[in-house]
Amino acid sequence: MTLNIIILIAVIVVLQLIIGHLLHDVGFSLLHSIILMLFPLGIGLFALQLWYYEHRYSKWAVPFNVKLRLKYMYILTFFEYVALYVCIVVIT
């Protein structure tokens, strides 16, 4: 069980680092990317969508490169949930 938790934490940390890098590529400052990266399992991404993109782009007329990176972040968040399921349910 301890090994499962260590693997889960390692996977989530790696995926959050990738998400933080994508946030920095979108144009956020390094400080904001790190702060949003500290909220795992899509919580930071949800807050970013809710309070930044919903207000700034009301009809979601987001530039293509930002939209593409957001889709990558959503896919990585999905992989975090898959890792959570695998480490808690399947392996135990």
Residue 3 has pLDDT above 90, yes or no: no
Mean pLDDT of 19-32: 94
CA distance 2 to 7: 9
pLDDT of residue 24: 95
pTM for this predicted structure: 0.89
Helices 2-26 and 64-85 sit at what angle, rounded to 10 degrees?
Answer: 180
Any idea where the domains of the chain sit in the sequence?
A: 2-90
For 37-89, the pLDDT digits (tens) are: 999 999 999 999 999 998 898 888 899 999 999 999 999 999 999 999 998 88
Q: Which amino acid is at 15?
A: L
Tell me which amino acid residue 21 is.
H
